[in-house]
Chains A and B, each alone.
Chain A
Amino acid sequence: MLDKRVNSLAEAVAGIADGATVLCGGFGSAGVPDDLLAALLEQGARELVIVSNNAGSGKTGLAALIAAGRVRKIMCSFPKTGGSFVFDEHYKNGTIELELVPQGTLSERIRAAGAGVGGFYSPVSVGTRLARGKETKVINGREHVLELPIQGDVALIKAESADRWGNLVYRKSARNFNPVMATAAHLTVVEAGRIVALGELDPEAIVTPGIFVDRVFSMTEAR
């Protein structure tokens, strides 16, 4: 029987190693797997590389991991937001490394890892400081830069509904990076609003096929 459900948050994040690259879904506060991030803080892994659009907000979730000194590096497109005071402070003090990646390049580099291709050439960032040191190539008369895949050791995903095979649907703009990140990690862990019986999710509307998912946890199912 194929059953990806786990019974606790501790089980959901078990085995995440020190130094792991963690893909974390969300855009602003929409679609961020807050419970899994809290569990990762509890779990204790250190020297993490976080890949996420933003760098956390307020004092919980990603910000709590950064505040606890557990994040070595963050790869994101837009770290500075209204509530990003924890990241801002660590950045100013030089206690966290930042790799700034244009938003579409971030999602496509993750997609490349999930799709098993060795990178791609993009016209985005050509002639800017974010292209420094990158190989370039003129394609159809236009300059492109080589972008390499971002492979996650772990992906932390938030979905609205899941089934025990790991099929997922999302809610509104909380979808954002979650589906692409789910494809690009050795271990994909999902925090779902609810878990439904097989067959209940409309097969025409499943966004993430369960093949990409390893573990599913839902607070509403927790025992």
Chain B
Amino acid sequence: MKPLSRKQIAWRAAQDIVDGSYVNLGIGLPTAVAAFIPADREVLFHSENGVLGFGPKLASEPDDPEMINAGKEQISLLPGGCFFTHTDSFVMIRGGHLDVALLGAFEVSETGDLANWTTDNLEVPPGVGGAMDLAVGAGSIRVLMEHNARDGSPRLKKFCRYPLTAAGVVKRVYTNLAVLDVTPDGLEVCEMVPGMNLKELQALTEPVLRLSEDYKELRVPDLE
């Protein structure tokens, strides 16, 4: 059994973005998804700081401090892309105009509760950014994260231990071991990496898992 690399998690999430979607990518792992959207699909990316329709920075262009995404990375505007103010950006987010938001998380509960904004370390100022707005407003909330924390503890929980970003919003979770859907009956395993069985995945997960009727192996290309 070989867990997915971070790139492979991003690749898998990218395959579920349908042609013509408006998508917001969270900071960190979700940002990597843009590179893996299949070439025959036209997907428009939204950045909370007021950009719609952007791509990676062009190597031929100099750095521009006023051309950044939410993660403060350099970007370029695609033909047809546009700029707008924060108020309109969050009209898009909160008003349900985005089809998908891909977010990172510390924890997700079996009912789709999301915890991704603070670990309650009192030494570090908390930051929420647009996480709560996205979690409540985007059409489909999907999370990309490692299946387990560094100490091995499960990130998929019965109840989140960290403070919530929003309750009951996550629809699908991509981890380095599996793809899982949040259903009214709890977490359903759609795909697992080759060589892993439900009993092994269950041992690394807090809530009770069940296998989807459409279960298949989680197959991704070698991207390293």
Q: Is A174 an interface residue (CB 8 A)?
A: yes
A55-B125, A103-B130, A104-B130 given; A175·B164 CB < 8 A: no
Q: Which residue of A lies closest to B113 (CB)?
A: A127
Chain A nearest CB, measured from B52 CB (Å): 11
- Residues of A contacting B44 with CB < 8 Å? none
- Choose among B68, B83, B124, B167 the residue that contacts A28 (Cβ–Cβ < 8 A): B68
Q: How large is the interface on B (under 10, 10 to 19, 20 to 34, 35 or more residues)?
A: 35 or more
- A66-101 with Cβ < 8 A to chain B: 77-82, 84, 87-88, 91-92, 98, 100-101
16 more contacts with CB within 8 A, not counting A102-B130, A173-B69, A175-B50, are A77-B130, A100-B126, A102-B129, A103-B90, A104-B86, A105-B132, A107-B90, A127-B166, A127-B167, A128-B166, A130-B132, A171-B66, A172-B51, A173-B49, A173-B50, A180-B86
Chain B nearest CB, measured from A108 CB (Å): 6
Chain B nearest CB, measured from A65 CB (Å): 17
Question: A172-183 CB contact bits vs B (8 Å, 1 = yes)?
Answer: 111111111000
A179-B85, A207-B85 given; A103·B123 CB < 8 A: no
Chain A nearest CB, measured from B111 CB (Å): 12
Partner-B contacts on A (CB < 8 A): 27-31, 53, 55, 77-82, 84, 87-88, 91-92, 98, 100-105, 107-108, 110-111, 122-130, 170-180, 207
- Residues of A contacting B66 with CB < 8 Å? 30-31, 171-174
Chain B nearest CB, measured from A126 CB (Å): 7
Partner-A contacts on B (CB < 8 A): 47-51, 64-69, 72, 77, 83-87, 89-90, 93-94, 123-133, 136-137, 163-167
Q: Which residue of B lies closest to A96 (CB)?
A: B125
- Residues of B contacting A81 with CB < 8 Å? 72, 127
Q: Are B163 and A128 in contact (CB under 8 A)?
A: yes
Q: Are B133 and A173 in contact (CB under 8 A)?
A: no
Q: Are A126 and B166 in contact (CB under 8 A)?
A: yes
Q: Are B85 and A122 in contact (CB under 8 A)?
A: no
**Can you report 23 residue pairs joining A to B where beta carbons are below 8 Å apart?**
A27-B68, A53-B86, A77-B130, A79-B126, A80-B126, A88-B125, A98-B125, A100-B127, A102-B129, A104-B133, A107-B85, A123-B137, A124-B132, A124-B136, A124-B137, A127-B167, A173-B50, A173-B66, A173-B68, A175-B50, A175-B84, A179-B85, A180-B85
Bound CA span A30–B47, Å: 14
- Residues of B contacting A30 with CB < 8 Å? 49, 65-66, 68
- Choose among B67, B83, B129, B166 the residue that contacts A78 (Cβ–Cβ < 8 A): B129
- Choose among A125, A171, A180 the residue that contacts B87 (Cβ–Cβ < 8 A): A180
- Residues of B contacting A127 with CB < 8 Å? 164, 166-167
Q: Which residue of B lies closest to A172 (CB)?
A: B66
Chain A nearest CB, measured from B205 CB (Å): 23
6 closest A-B pairs by beta carbon, nearest first, are: A104-B90, A104-B133, A174-B66, A107-B86, A78-B127, A102-B132
Q: Which residue of A lies closest to B71 (CB)?
A: A28
- Residues of B contacting A108 with CB < 8 Å? 87, 90, 94
